[in-house]
Amino acid sequence: LTHRCTCLGNLTHNHTCLGNLTHICTCLGNLTHICTYFGNLTHICTCLGNLTHICTCLGNLTHICTCLGNLTHICTCLGNLTHICTCLGNLTHICTCLGNLTHICTCLGNLTHSCTCLGNLTHICTCLGNLTHICTCLGNLTHICTYFGNLTHICTCLGNLTHICTCLGNLTHICTCLGNLTHSCTCLGNLIHSCTCLGNLTHICTCLGNLTHICTCLGNLTHICTCLGNLTHICTCLGNLLHSCTCLGNLTHSCTCLGNISHSHTCLGGLTHSCTCLRGLTHSCTCLRGLTHSCTCLGGCGYKTVNFSHT
């Protein structure tokens, strides 16, 4: 093997190297650096600042770690993978990688960052601001997460899917994805956003304003939800269908869809809107002004209702 070590400053440096590998370590500042390496790999570590850095690598892999600032950085890599970690600021960064995957993590700001990756996947995480970030990935998938602001973000991904999450503002964002699907979530404002996706589907959610948004999707379907304003939005979709929801204004919107149908509705104004669709039919609902609108459709039919009732 080829082993190069460079140490500068008041520090304690312990390292252990076993196997056919190339090891390059550079340490600068008041820190404790412990590295342990096993297997055929290339490992490059760079540490700058007052920190504790612990790295453990096992398997045929390429591991690159860069640490800058007052932080604790713990990295564990097992399997055939490429692992790149970059840490800047006052933070705690813990990364665990198992399986054939590519893992890229970037942390900036006062935060706690915990990442766990299992399976054949590509995982990219970016953290900026005062936040707590927990990500767990299992299966053959692509996971991209971006975080800005004071928030708590929890993401769980299972199955063959593409998961993209973007969070901005003071909020709590919880996303759960299971099955072969594409899931895209965008959150802006002071809100709680909970999304659950199961089955072969495409799920797109967009939330803006002070609201609580809960979406549940089951089956082979396309689900698009958009929420704007002070409202509570609950959507449930089951079966082979196309479901599109749009909510604007101070309102409570509850939608339930079951069966082979195409369902589209739009709500605007101070109102309560409840829609229920069952069996093979096409249902279109439009609500405007201050009113209460309730629609129920049953049977194989084409049905369209437009109400302009005043409260």
Q: What's the total number of domains in the chain?
A: 2
Binning pLDDT at 50, 70 and 90, where does residue 145 land?
Answer: confident
**Model confidence at 279, in pLDDT bands (50, 70, 90)?**
very low
- The pLDDT, as a whole number, for residue 166 is 72
Q: pLDDT tens digit string along 236-252?
A: 766 666 667 776 666 56
- Residue range 217-235: mean pLDDT, rounded: 68
DSSP string, 45-68: EEEESSEEEEEEEESS-EEEEEEE
Q: What is the pLDDT of residue 306?
A: 42
With respect to residue 6, please indicate whether it lies within any of the assigned structural domains: yes
- CA–CA distance, 180 with 118 (Å, rounded to integer): 17
User: Contact, 19 vs 38, CB < 8 A?
Assistant: yes
Q: Which residue has the tokens 């379907």?
A: 221
Q: Are residues 46 and 137 in the same domain?
A: yes
What pLDDT, on a 0 to 100 scale, did the predictor assign at position 289?
A: 47
Residue 282 to residues 33, 163, 260, 285, 297, Cα–Cα distance (Å): 64, 30, 9, 10, 9
Structural domain contains residue 167:
no
Same domain, 12 and 135: yes
Residues forming a β-bridge with 279: none
165, 146 contact by CB (below 8 A): yes
| 213 and 154 in a common domain | no
If DSSP states are collapsed to H, E and C, what string results for 183-222? EEEEEECCEEEEEEEECCEEEEEEEECCEEEEEEEECCEE
Average pLDDT, the chain: 66
| One domain, residues 1 and 135 | yes
For the stretch 51-106, pLDDT in tens is 577 777 666 667 776 766 666 777 776 666 677 777 666 667 777 766 666 777 77
One domain, residues 234 and 143: no
Same domain, 215 and 295: yes
Q: Which domain holds residue 91?
A: 1-159
Domain final residue pick, 103, 137, 159:
159
Least confident stretch, 141-150, 246-255, 300-309: 300-309
pLDDT at 303 > cutoff 50: no
Q: Could you give phi then psi for residue 270, rounded to 5 degrees?
A: -80, 95
144 in any annotated domain: yes
Of 12-16, 17-21, 182-186, 253-257, give the lowest mean pLDDT range: 17-21
Shared-domain flag, residues 210 and 250:
yes
Matching residue, tokens 């589209």:
264
pLDDT tens track for 10-59: 656 666 666 665 667 676 666 577 777 766 667 676 766 665 777 776 66
168 part of a folded domain: no
Considering 99, 132, 159, which residue would you say is the last residue of a domain? 159
Q: What whole-number distance in Å separates Cα of residue 13 and Cα of residue 5?
A: 10
Q: How far apart are CA 11 and CA 16, in angstroms?
A: 17
